[in-house]
Amino acid sequence: MKADFGKLKLKSAVKVTKVLHKSCAKALKGTRVGDVLLLEIEVKNVTFGSSAGVYASYIDVTNLRTKNKEFISMTNFANSFLPNYEYEEVSVDDIEV
């Protein structure tokens, strides 16, 4: 019998404080200072295939001003966002979706 673990979603929000370089990632296209990005990732029970491989984690990134949204791997998001933007974390409770 398979256990039902339910769903767990982790959320964070960041406010862009400086744009160092523009990004061509869909969710980041047109991002400017003051934009708030909502970051969400679902935690799942991962089963391993016969090759014992590990699956990539994907994150939902939404720019609340432009409404641009993208489901992107954590690696691609980190490579597109971290070197190109300065940001501060803001409370998810304080933003309106």
> What is the pLDDT confidence band of residue 23, given thresholds at 50, 70 and 90?
confident
Does residue 3 form part of some domain? no
CA 46, 76, 66, 13 torsion-angle sign: positive
Instruction: Encode pLDDT of 65-76 as tens digits.
Output: 999 999 999 999
pLDDT of 83 > 60? The answer is: yes
| Residues paired with 14 in a beta bridge | 37, 89
Q: How many domains does the chain have?
A: 1
Per-residue pLDDT tens digits for 33-60: 999 999 999 887 666 555 555 567 899 9
- pTM of the complete model: 0.80
Residue 17, phi-psi category: left (phi > 0), alpha (psi -120 to 50), beta (remainder) = alpha
Full domain range(s) for residue 27: 8-94
Q: How far apart are CA 8 and CA 25, in angstroms?
A: 26
55 in any annotated domain: yes
CB 42 within 8 Å of CB 8: yes
